[in-house]
């Protein structure tokens, strides 16, 4: 997936997460996590997001995560939306996302 602009999705409300993705000039995956449950789940969130990026074929990205203790399914939904926005994809191929 090719990121042509910044993508952003989510909110900063409790139990949600705001995710911003942009192309990484260093051609690498960089995850910048800020979470109120960093101590408990920081490592889990990082590896979860990394695996989602791999699944979606994204290899050059800076991901800013402002987490307010979102569940995995929420993180996934926000990340996918942010990436689609960044890639300029407006038609979702839902069947491919499972």
Partner 1 sequence: MAEYDFSVETIQYNIPSDRKPVEEFLSRLQLSYDEDVSLTIVVKQGDAIVATGSLAGNVLKCIGVSPEYQGSGLTNTVVSRLEMEAYYRHTEHLFLFSKPRNEHIFSDLGFSLVGKYPDTVVLLEKPSGMFDQWLTMLEKERRGEQSVSLVMNCNPFTLGHRYLVEKASNTAGEKGERVHLFVVSEDRSLFPMDVRFDLVRRGTADLENVMVHSGGPYIISNATFPTYFIRDPGDAGRIHAGLDLHIFGGRIAPALGINLRMVGEEPFCPVTRGYNRAMAEILPQYGVEVREIPRLAIGKAAVSASFVRDLIRNDRLEEVRSLVPVSTWEYLRSDAALPVIEKIRKEDRRH
Q: Does 78 bind partner 1 (CB under 8 A)?
A: no
Nearer to partner 1, 30 or 55 (CB): 30
Nearer to partner 1, 55 or 71 (CB): 71
Residue 19, C-beta contacts closer than 8 angstroms, at least 6 positions apart: 8, 9, 10, 63, 64, 65, 66, 75, 78, 79, 82
Nearer to partner 1, 9 or 58 (CB): 9
46-75: which residues touch partner 1 (CB under 8 A)? 62, 64, 66, 68
Q: Does 8 bind partner 1 (CB under 8 A)?
A: yes
What does each C-alpha distance from 29 to 25, 26, 47, 95 come to in angstroms? 10, 9, 12, 26
């Amino acid at each position: 997936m090719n990121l042509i602009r910044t993508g952003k999705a989510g909110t900063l409300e409790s139990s949600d997460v705001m995710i911003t993705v942009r192309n990484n000039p260093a051609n690498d995956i960089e995850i910048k996590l800020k979470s109120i449950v960093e101590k408990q789940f920081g490592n889990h969130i990082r590896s979860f997001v990394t695996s989602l990026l791999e699944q979606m074929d994204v290899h050059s990205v800076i991901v800013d995560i402002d987490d307010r203790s979102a569940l995995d399914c929420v993180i996934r939904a926000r990340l996918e939306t942010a990436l689609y926005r960044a890639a300029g994809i407006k038609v979702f191929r839902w069947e491919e996302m499972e």
